[in-house]
Amino acid sequence: MATEYIRLRGIGVSPGVALGLVQLEEQVVFSDRKESITFAQIKEEIQRLQRSFEATKQEIIEIKNQVKDKLGKEHAFIFEAHLMILEDQSLREEIENLIKKEKVRAEWAIATVHNHYMRVFETLEDEYFRQRRFDLSDVLSKVYRHLQPYSPETVDEEGERILVAHELLPSEAARKLNKGNILGVALDMGGQTSHTAILARSLNIPAVVGLRDITTKVQDGDVIIVDGTDGEVIINPPLAIRKEFLSKKRKYDDYLKELRKTSTLVSETLDGFRFTPLANIELPEEISLAFSLGAEGIGLFRSEFIYLRSTTIPSEQDHYHIYSQIAKKAYPSPVYIRTIDIGGEKNIPQLNIEREPNPALGLRAIRFSLKNRKIFKTQLRAILRASVQKNVRLLIPMVTEIEEIEEVKWILREVKDELKREKVDFDPAIPLGIMIEVPAAATLVDEMIKEVDYVSIGTNDLIQYYLAVDRSNELVAYLYKPLHPSLLRLLEEIINHVSEAGKEVAVCGEMAADPLSA
């Protein structure tokens, strides 16, 4: 057991404080050993691969059912996505073609395909999109493991522990965090949108990720503190530090109890203005937590994640399955589904989007959708089909001019007509709204509101574009001021114009989550 006292900084992804003993997890390793086979052995090797795929399918189904029984449908949904990845014919063909072309064992082919996609995902600038690599890695690691003659699972430590690992794949996160004995999580890798982070938040397990090399600094049985609120991990803390953090833990636990008590109270400002708190979600698994903390609906569902659950372009049914699940889970509360905001820095490998010199101002969001009608219409069809619950709202991002709204409405009418001819049910009066993120849209909102049912002010992008400042650039971050007088004046004008038109206005982004700004 190590005795050195070490403090590490990472990313706090699930708040709270935990103190306990380390349970160190071993990382799944793909061997780069290239074992050759003869031409006559290729057929047998392909069959071996197919058996491994089938065994993996059965394992994922078993995990999905266990998670569904213990944690609910929303947490089991990710394993539906894993089945989609597994059944993606192009992925299997890519592995089979390597076996045939290189005359190699399936292990090397899987490792090669896995490593290729991991490199592709690593080049993505958007953190949420990068995190989706773990879904593909999870599936392929299972296929790889089932090729082995015997592959026993890691034996978990008995008693309460702090789980420490390089990274935690979704299936491992579901299995281990659901056991009830994990007090906290500390990972070398990961981010806010990883499945481990989402699951930890749902289960109120403190978690810190992005620690880079904590697995090289601890051993099983070390004492460790995980502070998920401040993103700090302390290895082998002295007694005084332990007492300090135990006090902090008690205060946080008391705060959480109070928060849950007030979650059922009416939401209003100190001057008596009643408002409706809505949650922004990126994954269906987040719905239950959002409602338990007082959300009265889903104010923004980021639909881009669907593309990261497949190595091919998702089908209409893939989209529909997700949207309908969310609409049913949230019913009768409203669900605002934003059409895909991809392009630019939010690149997706299977779409082959060219890199742009200035992606934030390039072909992204509705600009991308209008240039790619087939993809856009597929998504609209799925959203309309899910709207039979009559709690779905359609939200268009990054609108710059009225002509874009008119084009969207024309395409939407076309899709509605198609569904009518096919006798497919949908909500013909589904509300249509736009995101106000571009200054041009903000100053034209008095005209744009005539074309839509509501607007949602996307404060994160609007602040950056309006103040001409990149909030992620520490050299100019001091200029990123949500309470800038000019910005507040602009927001007032937007809200007044929309209110005068008798339409609904919503605010999303960090300003909406900040009590002072809200």
Active site residues: 195, 508
The answer to whether 375 and 313 have CB atoms below 8 angstroms apart is yes
Closest CA to 29 of 115, 156, 106, 109: 115
What distance in Å separates the CA atoms of residue 285 and residue 293, rounded to the nearest whole number?
Answer: 14
Strand partners, 20: 224
Q: Which amino acid is at 320?
A: Y
**How many Cβ atoms sit within 10 Å of the Cβ of residue 411?**
16
Strand partners, 508: 458
- The crossing angle, in degrees rounded to 10, of helices 170-177 and 133-146 is 80
DSSP3 helix / strand / coil % (the chain, rounded to 5): 50, 15, 35
Strands of 200-356, DSSP E = 207-209, 223-227, 232-235, 279-281, 298-302, 335-338
Rounded to a whole number of angstroms, the CA Rg of the chain reads: 24
DSSP state of 516: T
Strand-pair category, 223-227 with 207-209: unpaired
